[in-house]
Amino acid sequence: MTTNPEIPARPARGGRSPGRTGHAEAAQSRVAWLFVGPYTLFLLAFGLLPLIYTIFLAFTKRGAFAGITNFVKVFKDYRFLPAVEHVGLYLAVWLVSLVVLVVLLAVIVHAIGVRWLSTTVRFLFYIPGAVAGASSVMLWLFVLDPTVSPVAFILHGLGLNSFVEAVQADRLPVVLAVIAFWTGAGGWIVVMYGALNNISREVIEAARIDGAGPIRIAWSIQIPLLRKWISYMVILSFAGGTQLFVEPRVLAQASRGVVSQDYSLNQLAFLYAFKQSDFNGSAAISLMLLLVALVLSVAFVFRGGLFERT
């Protein structure tokens, strides 16, 4: 028995014909471009083009090539190294507390067996993230003032009797880290909670059968499997932390000079651009911040295995 070559073969039951498959892939491709297109345009307009202009300003002076003159001038500025120290201390406190406490709280919330209680706790953690940066700092102005603070007994117990004492330079990295943690940690706890839900239940059950308790399971299974998400959190938090500006600026205005106007590198870049009309120096500071964040982010990407397939 021969088959007629002019009659196309019928696709297997449950399968799709090549034409229909190609049409579906083309439709998916159009939808993908529809979502990616606007983001790409915004990235070019507000990301790539400003970056190119920043590089141009950083290496020029009055339109002429100036080499590293702007960078040398910034390095010699007496305000530069203190600003670097301030941001570095803040990042150290902020990132360490973020990694330790976010992972710990996420594991604890994930271990709550009562669904409504777990949902409520996650919602409470997430609420502060809905408050914008400047608004959260305004709220903390009251929290840090022992005369009106709802936690005045804690402040008095720490020997703080006035707002000015609470925002002294030696305490400011911790104060800024607490504000940042209160604002941003809740969202990361929810992210880590979702990542914990993706861990195979069979793996956890096998560990329990072998006699592992909750602490052992968290330390040996859950936290190692969260490595990619922890790296992702550190990269974004580090990039955001280097841009420290709103919090010290509001505190500087509220403390009437106790917190300096050039406390952070972003504030110093702002002063260069809009107080000294030196956009070249401001661009040099911005470019240095970008390079440091880029190098450390690449290190975290490879060390954390962010793009490794499991």
Write out pLDDT tens, residues 132-181. 666 778 888 889 988 888 888 999 888 888 888 888 888 899 999 998 88
CA 179 to chain centre: 14
Please indicate, yes or no, whether residues 114 and 238 belong to a single structural domain of this protein. Answer: yes
> What pLDDT score does 59 carry?
95
CATH code for the domain of 179: 1.10.3720.10
Please indicate, yes or no, whether residues 220 and 270 belong to a single structural domain of this protein. Answer: yes
For residues 280-305, give the mean pLDDT.
87
Q: Which residue has the higher pLDDT, 38 or 309?
A: 38
Please indicate, yes or no, whether residues 94 and 233 belong to a single structural domain of this protein. Answer: yes
Other C-beta atoms lying within 10 Å of the C-beta of residue 270: 17
> What pLDDT score does 282 carry?
95
Would residue 72 count as lying in a domain? no
Separation CA 102–CA 211 (nearest Å)? 26
- Total number of residues shown for the chain: 310
Inform me whether the pLDDT recorded for 116 exceeds 80: yes
- 104 by Cβ neighbours in 10 Å (0-12 / 13-18 / 19+) ranks as middle
Please indicate, yes or no, whether residues 84 and 198 belong to a single structural domain of this protein. Answer: yes
Inform me whether the pLDDT recorded for 12 exceeds 70: no
> What pLDDT score does 1 carry?
47
Would residue 13 count as lying in a domain? no
Would residue 256 count as lying in a domain? yes
How many distinct structural domains can be found in the chain? 2
- 230 by Cβ neighbours in 10 Å (0-12 / 13-18 / 19+) ranks as buried
> What pLDDT score does 263 carry?
93
Would residue 9 count as lying in a domain? no
> What pLDDT score does 204 carry?
87
Would residue 70 count as lying in a domain? no
Separation CA 196–CA 218 (nearest Å)? 10
> What pLDDT score does 20 carry?
65
Please indicate, yes or no, whether residues 263 and 220 belong to a single structural domain of this protein. Answer: yes
Please indicate, yes or no, whether residues 209 and 265 belong to a single structural domain of this protein. Answer: yes
- Segment 42-100, tens digit of pLDDT: 989 988 999 999 999 999 998 899 999 999 999 999 999 999 999 999 999 999 999 99
For residues 289-301, give the mean pLDDT.
86
Residue ending a domain, choose from 58, 89, 109 = 58
> What pLDDT score does 63 carry?
85
Would residue 69 count as lying in a domain? no
CA 122 to chain centre: 19
- Segment 174-200, tens digit of pLDDT: 999 998 888 888 889 989 998 999 888
Please indicate, yes or no, whether residues 258 and 297 belong to a single structural domain of this protein. Answer: yes
Other C-beta atoms lying within 10 Å of the C-beta of residue 101: 14
Please indicate, yes or no, whether residues 52 and 189 belong to a single structural domain of this protein. Answer: no
CB 303 within 8 A of CB 231: yes
Q: Which residue has the higher pLDDT, 6 or 105?
A: 105
Inform me whether the pLDDT recorded for 13 exceeds 80: no
Please indicate, yes or no, whether residues 164 and 132 belong to a single structural domain of this protein. Answer: yes
Please indicate, yes or no, whether residues 28 and 165 belong to a single structural domain of this protein. Answer: no
Please indicate, yes or no, whether residues 163 and 212 belong to a single structural domain of this protein. Answer: yes
User: Which token pair is 272?
Assistant: 């260069």
**Mean pLDDT, rounded, of the chain:** 86
Inform me whether the pLDDT recorded for 222 exceeds 80: yes
Q: Which residue has the higher pLDDT, 300 or 261?
A: 261
Would residue 220 count as lying in a domain? yes
> What pLDDT score does 6 carry?
52
Please indicate, yes or no, whether residues 102 and 244 belong to a single structural domain of this protein. Answer: yes
Inform me whether the pLDDT recorded for 23 exceeds 80: no
Residue 91 structural domain: 77-303
